[in-house]
Amino acid sequence: MSIITSQLAGAGTVRVWSTGSKLDGQPSMYLDNPNHHEENIEYAEIASFAPFGGPTPGATVATSSTVYGADLLVAGTTPGGQEVRKYTLQRPAPDATTLVPKLIATLPKLPTGPTPLGGR
């Protein structure tokens, strides 16, 4: 299980939190019967980055489904208007226990105002 958060002010820092994955061995919660899970599941930060590389008035996040997992969509204000960027997260080295973002695409900029970002 993962949770993705972003700052709504400042640099719009995006952080990814996980209960465990192949990055750190195996997710222990999936090796147990669901009836035996602990009530307080612990999350650890596995990625953190400023999606627009400088001071912005914050960012919002969403994900898009792919055949292998999900890509990360980040919306925020840049000097030219509202922008949505699509990232994938990957290991920087085979033995890494954290992920780094890789920019996949940038949608054309929109005029200033709220950027629509959400599900169907």
- What confidence tens digit (pLDDT) does each residue in 13-64 have? 999 998 766 565 555 555 555 565 566 677 889 999 999 876 667 888 988 8
Structure tokens at 71: 């890509």
Among the residue ranges 7-16, 30-39, 87-96, 99-108, the one predicted with the least confidence is: 30-39
- Is the pLDDT higher at 114 or at 6? 6
Class of residue 100 by CB neighbours under 10 A (exposed 0-12, middle 13-18, buried 19+)? middle
Residue with tokens 């999900």: 70
Nearest-angstrom CA–CA distance, 39 and 52:
36
What local confidence, expressed as pLDDT, does residue 43 receive?
81
What local confidence, expressed as pLDDT, does residue 120 receive?
46
Structure tokens at 2: 């993962």
Q: Where are the domains of the chain?
A: 2-106
